[in-house]
């Protein structure tokens, strides 16, 4: 299967920690990248590779991977972290890409 499955929605109290997961067979071979998308805006890369953050992304964002599951953790969630989050990786063929189904994060 070349699908990446995410929980549709999660909520987190301000300042607390939330983990978003992404499951798929291709994750056994490829690391996921993670994208944050706020309403009406283009996606922004927040995590890539084993656990790398692009310049400008706060260190409260971190990534991990085990077996067929990749995870994005926000430690000390802030109000501005409320957004949709998508994982992405190459598919099982290695030539194409697949996005996860997306997770809406609400900061309470």
Partner 1 sequence: EVQLVESGGGLVKPGGSLRLSCAASGFTFSSYSMNWVRQAPGKGLEWVSSISSSSSYIYYADSVKGRFTISRDNAKNSLYLQMNSLRAEDTAVYYCARGTVTTDSDSFDIWGQGTMVTVSS
Q: Give CA–CA dist 6/30, Å, rounded.
A: 17
Q: Give CA–CA dist 58/51, Å, rounded.
A: 13
Q: Which is nearer to partner 1, 50 or 59 (CB)?
A: 50
Q: Which two tokens stand for residue 34?
A: 């993670």
User: What DSSP assignment string belongs to 42-83?
Assistant: --EEEEBTTTB--TT--TTEEEEEETTEEEEEEES--GGG-E
| Positions in the binding site for partner 1 (CB under 8 A) | 30-31, 33, 35, 37, 42-45, 48-50, 52, 54, 84, 86, 88, 90, 95-102
Distance of closest approach, residue 51 Cβ to partner 1, in angstroms = 10
Distance of closest approach, residue 15 Cβ to partner 1, in angstroms = 28
Q: Which is nearer to partner 1, 71 or 88 (CB)?
A: 88
Three-state SS string over 12-33 comes to ECCCCEEEEEEECHHHHCCCCE
Q: Which is nearer to partner 1, 16 or 101 (CB)?
A: 101
Distance of closest approach, residue 14 Cβ to partner 1, in angstroms = 26
Distance of closest approach, residue 18 Cβ to partner 1, in angstroms = 19
Q: Which is nearer to partner 1, 1 or 52 (CB)?
A: 52
């Amino acid at each position: 299967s070349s699908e990446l499955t995410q929980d549709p929605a999660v909520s987190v109290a301000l300042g607390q920690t939330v983990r978003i997961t992404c499951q798929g067979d291709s994750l056994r071979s490829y690391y996921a990248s993670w994208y944050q998308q706020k309403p009406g805006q283009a996606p922004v890369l927040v995590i890539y590779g084993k656990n790398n953050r692009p310049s400008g992304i706060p260190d409260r964002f971190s990534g991990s991977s085990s077996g067929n599951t990749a995870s994005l953790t926000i430690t000390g969630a802030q109000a501005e972290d409320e957004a949709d989050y998508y994982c992405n990786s190459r598919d099982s063929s290695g030539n194409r890409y697949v996005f996860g189904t997306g997770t809406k994060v609400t900061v309470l």
